[in-house]
Amino acid sequence: MTNKNINIWSGVNSIWTDSLANNQQPDGKALLSHLRTVHQNNAGFTEKCASSCRDKVGRNSYEWLAEIVPDIDGIRVLDLACGSGPLLKILYDRNKKLKLKGVDMCPEELALAKARLPDGVVDLLELKAQNLKLVNDNSIDVVLCHWALTLMNPITPVLNEVRRVLSSGGRFVALVNGPMDAAPGYSDVYNLIYEYVQAKLPKYGEIDLGDPRIRSTDSLRDLLSEAFPDAKINIETNVVSMEGPVAKVAETTAGFFYASFILPSEIRNIMLSKLSSLLTISKQSRDLERQGRFSMPINRLVVIK
Ligand SMILES: C[S@@+](CC[C@H](N)C(=O)[O-])C[C@H]1O[C@@H](n2cnc3c(N)ncnc32)[C@H](O)[C@@H]1O
């Protein structure tokens, strides 16, 4: 890395990044405040990134998750941390008789979800996943959570709430990051982005968003077994990829990494140009649509209560 000019550094600042700068472990409040800052300024960004990547048979990660919801009229589904609502939209388009609820802590994200769905067809609630007070016990058949469990800390109250609201035999289905080595080149991308971020906040990475146990398949399984002692637990790994003009692929790729949001535009642009080189399949290719490629490992966990 060549340019580490700390003096021009601004980027997203929050009490979470302040804690890291002071070598302290941020608490849950700091985490929520950091996530709020990122999401209120960039609402809908997860959807832009995640809907661009597809697996070998052409599914994006929302579609892969939605497959687990039985196509039966009246099934009660809760999308936990629904963001801008892409998963709810897929489900609504598939079967208008599902009973859909979405929960998120960020009003800017919920506003996007509300705008894309006909009035009244989905119950959208501004709540934290740690306290789903407006959702009754045993009232949900499937709880979905797409790319958000990794951000939650404390995680135990979240899993306890999921268990409480799920009906007997109900399913908890979540999409989280998969093992780094499952996707070719993924760890190089991770290392490059974190190298730039760590030039400002050396602790970013050692300390990251959410509970670290969600990030490894084994510790995730242990955590789920504690929260759902009698449940059947299955974790599957998949890989989703995108190809396109390399600068566009690099920009979208950066969006998968919350860490990249702390970079101010000058540094971010330098990082993006290095990332473009890393993601270039072939400089000789005249087919711009196939010049850049990024692959991402994902895990789908299914817990049957
Ligand atoms: C990466 S986005 C995913 C959004 C959506 N599920 C998707 O995949 O498009 C993470 C979402 O989790 C929400 N979130 C994070 N922590 C939360 C918490 N503790 N309670 C409720 N929502 C939370 C954020 O507001 C954000 O909308």
Q: The tokens of 285 are what? A: 């290719």
Mutate to test the pocket of ligand 1, among 65, 105, 211 (most ligand atoms within 8 A of CB): 105
Gyration radius from the chain CA atoms: 19
pTM of the model: 0.93
Residue 228 lies in a domain: yes
Total domains in the chain come to: 1
Best of 51, 52, 109, 110 to mutate for ligand 1, by most ligand atoms within 8 A of CB? 109
Which phi and psi angles does 197 have, rounded to 5°?
-65, -40
127 Cβ partners below 8 Å, 6+ apart?
Answer: 103, 104, 105, 133, 134, 135
What is the per-residue pLDDT for 289? 67
1 located within any domain: no
Residue 28, domain extent: 6-304
Q: What is the pLDDT of residue 155?
A: 97
Cα 4 to middle of ligand 1, angstroms:
31
Q: For position 7, what pLDDT does the model report?
A: 34
d(CA 305, CA 301) in angstroms, rounded, equals 13
Residues touching ligand 1 (Cβ under 6 Å) are 35, 39, 46-47, 50, 81-84, 86, 104-106, 109, 128-130, 146-148, 151-152
Q: Which residue's CA is the nearest one to ligand 1's atom 27?
A: 83
Q: Distances from the Cα of 214 to the Cαs of 126, 217, 259, in angstroms?
A: 24, 7, 17
Q: Could you tell me if residue 175 is inside a domain?
A: yes
* Residue 162: its H or E element: helix 156-165
CATH number of the domain at 61, please: 3.40.50.150
Mean pLDDT by runs of 10 across the 305 residues of the chain is 38 89 93 92 90 96 97 97 98 97 97 96 98 98 97 96 97 96 95 95 94 92 94 96 94 94 92 95 68 95 96
Dist. CA 278–CA 118, nearest whole Å: 42
In a domain, 295, yes or no: yes
